[in-house]
Amino acid sequence: MSNFKIKPAVRTENITYAVRDIIVLANEVAKTGKEMLYLNIGDPNLFDFEPPRHLIDATYDAMLRNKNGYSPSSGIGEAVKAIEGEAERKRIKNIHDIFVTTGASEAIELAVTALVNQGENVLTPTPGYPLYTAVASKLQAFENPYYLDEENGWQPDIEDIKSKINEKTKGIIIINPNNPTGSNANYETLKKLVDFAVENNLVIFADEIYDKLLFDDAKHISLASISPDASVITFGGLSKNYMVPGFRIGWGIVSGQKAVLADYIEAINKMLRARLSANHPEQYGIKPALEGNQDHLTLALEKLHRRRDMTVEMLNAIPGISCVKPEGAFYAFPKIEMKSSDNHFVAELIKETGVVVVPGTGFGQKPGTHHFRVVFLPQDEKLEKAYKSIASFTEKYFNAYEK
């Protein structure tokens, strides 16, 4: 046997994805026979959530009609038109391109890749969804983290954004509603962010994949609706609002000034052509999803609302833990007042209790602060059990490590 080892590319060195990376430890613990409670993955289908039936029927019917070949690179006409209708409902104006992708993940990867060169950077929300950091690493670009302000309901900190921009900054990302905090940005903040981006010729990546999952009387404001002049790519998809993450269907909507965007749109389209097409039969689910009845949302929001309340109440009752109330999505990002690292806290939690959450480090956080992310999709009784375990574990942990 040779001692030769294939050397992976340097660009893969810093790629991490904490949501799934934590599973390695969870699997080891599960092998010991411990009962596990998974609060780490935002997959509604693992719990009591189901997609609307008409979306499944349309996809099945497309398969039977042998729509099983490649689709046009930007997506099938009826889906693109339905997404355009949705964009208009979101009050987005000046739309110049719409493309369907293999999940919003592919739209994000294509749009960022078509913009950013090695050594350049994109302002990235911290905490935020780790795919953006992974893509920046792959491009040997830099993520340029800006903070969300926990004291202000996790709203983007505009002053921090202003202090972070430099001559190599090409774009700014906003995830709204946010993963991992569940926060929903208000108009005032969004307006300041848009004005700042326009003044500095930045492309805005507006990730609005959770825009229909809002609680109480929270309203979602689509960032691109604020200014027809801002260069915005709005990301959306079926994974969360329509509960079919396995379909892998997402999209990008490009809006702003046509002349400013023309070359960039062509660059994105070159990449879309080079990868042939997104999943074809599943694209037939887009029009029925966006235009059909939305009853599944009423049911889902009722459950999520109750589980959100339970999450905030039970976590805030634990000494040493505080949790900002999420206004959307299905995540909460509680803070732990401690000196130890959240990686250590979470590893011990998993080993001791079988409750799987994701350490805050995986999403980025202000230095010196510690958090973890919980997904409140699981059924009430599972959540209740998990939070009770977190409470008794935290007391023991603080006695052992924080005295």
Ligand X SMILES: Cc1ncc(COP(=O)(O)O)c(C=O)c1O
Residue in the block written with tokens 């693992």: 46
Regarding 179 and contact with ligand X (CB under 6 A), the answer is yes
Q: How many residues bind ligand X (CB under 6 A)?
A: 13
Query: 307 by DSSP, 3-state: which?
Result: helix
Tell which residue, 13, 11, 19, 12, has the closest CA to residue 362.
Answer: 19
Regarding 239 and contact with ligand X (CB under 6 A), the answer is yes
User: Least distance from C-beta 210 to ligand X, angstroms?
Assistant: 7
Query: Which residues neighbour 383 within 8 Å (Cβ) at sequence distance 6 or greater?
Result: 39, 307, 310, 311, 314, 376
Of positions 51, 127, 130, 250, contacts ligand X by CB under 6 A:
250
Would you say 137 or 353 has its CB closer to ligand X? 137
Q: Is 2 exposed, middle or buried (0-12, 13-18, 19+ CB in 10 A)?
A: exposed
Would you say 354 or 362 has its CB closer to ligand X? 362
Query: 393 by DSSP, 3-state: which?
Result: helix
Would you say 20 or 270 has its CB closer to ligand X? 20
Neighbouring-strand partners of residue 156: 148
Would you say 245 or 354 has its CB closer to ligand X? 245
Regarding 286 and contact with ligand X (CB under 6 A), the answer is no
Regarding 365 and contact with ligand X (CB under 6 A), the answer is no
Tell which residue, 377, 379, 361, has the closest CA to residue 369.
Answer: 361
CA distance 262 to 383: 49
Regarding 173 and contact with ligand X (CB under 6 A), the answer is no
CA distances in angstroms from 41 to 4, 187, 191, 330, 375, listed in the order given: 37, 29, 32, 10, 7
Regarding 175 and contact with ligand X (CB under 6 A), the answer is yes
Residue 65 tokens read as 């009609």
User: Least distance from C-beta 244 to ligand X, angstroms?
Assistant: 9
Regarding 209 and contact with ligand X (CB under 6 A), the answer is yes
Would you say 150 or 208 has its CB closer to ligand X? 208
Task: Give the other-Cβ count within 10 Å of 216's Cβ.
Answer: 11
Please list every residue from 52 through 111 that binds ligand X, using CB under 6 A: 103-105
Tell which residue, 92, 124, 82, has the closest CA to residue 222.
Answer: 92
User: Least distance from C-beta 105 to ligand X, angstroms?
Assistant: 3
**Identity of residue 317:** A
**x/- contact string, 5-34, with ligand X (CB under 6 A)?**
------------------------------
User: Least distance from C-beta 332 to ligand X, angstroms?
Assistant: 14
Could you tell me if 89 and 212 are in contact, meaning their C-beta atoms sit under 8 angstroms apart?
no
User: Least distance from C-beta 271 to ligand X, angstroms?
Assistant: 16
**Identity of residue 249:** I
User: Least distance from C-beta 108 to ligand X, angstroms?
Assistant: 6
Contact footprint for ligand X (CB under 6 A)? 42, 103-105, 129, 175, 179, 207, 209, 237, 239, 245, 250
